[in-house]
Amino acid sequence: MEEEIDLMEVMRVLLGRAWLILLAFVLGALLAGIGTKLFITPRYTASSTIYVFSKSSSNTSAANIQLSNQLTTDFQIIATTRETINQVIDELGLEPSYYKQLVGSISVTNPEDSHMLTIRVQDPDPQRAAQVANALADVLREQIADVMNTDKPSTVSRAVVPESPSSPSMKRNVVLGGLALAALVVAVVLIRYFADDTISTEEDIRRYLNLTVLASVPFEKNIAK
């Protein structure tokens, strides 16, 4: 019973500060939105897909199909090697210093139970993101053909210039910013409530001391001492 009373009291305290919690949420959301707009550079994602399997009739056996599927992991590693990335940089005429940025912006995935590789590239410049994704796909096709000693893999889809940024998510940042500041205010309110062990009302006397109040004397601040 005591826990239920304490829970109700906590709810009462929080409801009494609901306006402050709501204000904190609005302020946190506003600050997060402004911070996202001013200090976070938008990044665009472009993707291209290649089919890692030869069209040659000699490679249509079940064994070779399974082998090409296993090799997709190796091709994922090859796609992010220094030699591959430098070749892409040379073909597009990019600055050599772009290498470090490009390494962290490439994502190569192999959908489950498929022979396809999806190449995704993030970049602040949407046009460059598409160019890099397509160039990387072309370079990777040549390297796969050399490794497997077969025809070049087919291109399933070419990257197009993205029209909207993939990150940051303004909506998510605004919600998280509001929740973070609201949670901070809730924590402060609760800490102050639990840290305050003073008895100041008749209800406190009945609740914490289990005593009955027989009389009370009103306190007048304007009475001269």
| Whether residues 85 and 186 fall in one domain | no
Q: In this structure, are residues 164 and 41 in contact, taking their beta carbons and an 8 Å threshold?
A: no
* Kind and range of the H or E run holding 37: helix 18-39
- Residue 48 β-bridge partners: 119
Domain region containing 90: 44-157
| Whether residues 111 and 19 fall in one domain | no
| Whether residues 81 and 116 fall in one domain | yes
Q: 34 in a domain, yes or no?
A: yes
- Residue 84 β-bridge partners: none
| Whether residues 153 and 73 fall in one domain | yes
pLDDT tens, the chain, 225 aa long: 444 446 777 888 889 899 999 999 999 999 999 999 999 999 999 999 988 765 554 444 444 545 455 666 777 788 888 888 899 999 999 888 888 888 888 888 877 767 788 899 999 999 999 999 999 999 988 887 887 777 788 888 999 999 999 988 999 999 999 999 999 999 999 888 878 767 666 666 666 666 676 666 666 656 555
* Domain final position from 120, 135, 157: 157
| Whether residues 52 and 140 fall in one domain | yes
- Please identify which residue in the block is written with the tokens 């409801």: 15
Q: Give 96's DSSP letter.
A: T
| Whether residues 127 and 176 fall in one domain | no
Number of domain units in the chain? 2
| Whether residues 59 and 142 fall in one domain | yes
Other Cβ atoms within 10 Å of 21 Cβ, number: 17
Q: In this structure, are residues 190 and 198 in contact, taking their beta carbons and an 8 Å threshold?
A: no
Gap between the Cα atoms of 218 and 82, Å rounded? 82
| Whether residues 15 and 50 fall in one domain | no
- Please identify which residue in the block is written with the tokens 């397509």: 134
Gap between the Cα atoms of 105 and 99, Å rounded? 10
| Whether residues 123 and 176 fall in one domain | no
Q: 206: which residues sit within 8 A by CB, 6+ positions away? A: 212, 213
Q: 23 in a domain, yes or no?
A: yes
Residue 68 belongs to domain with CATH number: 3.30.1890.10
- Residue 24 CA, chain-centre distance (Å), reads 23
Q: Quick one: which of 84, 166, 93, 164 has its CA closest to 117?
A: 84
Length of the chain, in residues: 225
Cα–Cα distances in angstroms (integers) from residue 224 to residues 219, 220, 221, in the given order = 12, 9, 8
Amino acid (one-letter) located at 64: N
Q: Give 97's DSSP letter.
A: T
Q: Is the pTM of this model over 0.85?
A: no
